Amino acid sequence: MTNGGHIREEDLPLLAAGALPEEECAALRAHAAECAECAARLAEARGRAAMLALAAPQEKPAATIKAELFARIRAEREKEERYRWPVRHGADEGPKDAGRTARVGWWSWGLAAAAGLLLVMAGVEWRESQRLSKELEAANHKIVDLTNERQRTEMLMDVLAAPDTLSVKLAGTPEAEKATGIVRYNARKGMVLYTAVLPPLPAGKIYQMWLVPVAGAPISAGIFAPGAHGMRQLWTAEVPLNSEAKAFAVTIEPAGGVPQPTGPKVLLGTS
């Protein structure tokens, strides 16, 4: 099932196609839910399986099948009524006519059963198509999420590794003496990356990062709230390209942020 703690390569296409026993599929899906690497590989396998499924010709019952079947049933019943008409009007029905009526009645009921079976099969096929469509949509969303996350990680690594990226340490002010933070800023790319340890916010308030340029008014670099239990988080923001920074500051502002700083400073650092 797993190799070195991960789903075996040969099991991925089978799992993506649902071709493994249900118990084994459940165990592998549970593992993929906890393992980012296997989740990514499974998403790729599902994508390949979906492409193969889309490449295959799709068989779909005709939209008129129900009407055609019931039209045939009505026609057979009309024939049966014509055979039985002399009997209802007192005419003698010979053994030959009786046999014909019995055969027509049997065919009518057989046709109705076949029609019902075809309708059931069409319903099953439709439900299966809906299920596969939902799984394909979920797989596509997962692929998009993984692609976006990969691109974001590549962007972060690119900014951090660039020789012209500034590193600015932020220190707490009297408003929050124990607060700390670090800013990484690349003016050429217009990217600000920062992390901070700050006290919890009052209700209806938010922290806002500011780039203080050499000339002009402060530029907002995003709003943020500290992580639960003091957990460190990384926030990113885009600012106008080639903005020469003199300092960075964090203020407490109303929820949603403001165009220009109005609240007390809790972090400050010069570049």
- 251 within 8 A of 264, measured Cβ to Cβ: yes
Query: Token pair of 108, please?
Result: 């009518």
Whether 185 shows a pLDDT value over 90: the answer reads: yes
Q: Which residue has the tokens 């923001």?
A: 237
More confident call, 194 vs 145: 194
For the chain, percent of residues with pLDDT exceeding 70 = 64
Whether 56 shows a pLDDT value over 50: the answer reads: no
- Helix (H) or strand (E) holding 59, with range, is none
CA separation for the pair 131, 137 (Å, rounded): 10
Residue 112, classed as helix, strand or coil, is helix
Domain boundaries, the chain: 2-55, 65-138, 166-270
pLDDT of residue 32: 84
Residue 251 phi/psi, 5° resolution? Answer: -125, 165
CA separation for the pair 218, 241 (Å, rounded): 14
Question: Taking the complete model, does pTM exceed 0.85, yes or no?
Answer: no
pLDDT of residue 107: 47
Closest alpha carbon to 248 in 199, 216, 190, 208: 208
pLDDT of residue 89: 46
Q: In Å, what is the CA distance from 51 to each residue of 15, 56, 130?
A: 15, 9, 16
More confident call, 121 vs 194: 194
pLDDT of residue 120: 57
CA separation for the pair 119, 61 (Å, rounded): 9
Q: For domain 166-270, give the CATH number.
A: 2.60.40
User: pLDDT tens digit string along 5-55?
Assistant: 788 887 777 777 666 677 787 888 888 888 888 888 888 877 666 555 444
User: pLDDT tens digit string along 221-262?
Assistant: 999 998 765 566 889 999 999 999 999 999 999 999 999 999
Taking residues 55-65, what's their average pLDDT?
53
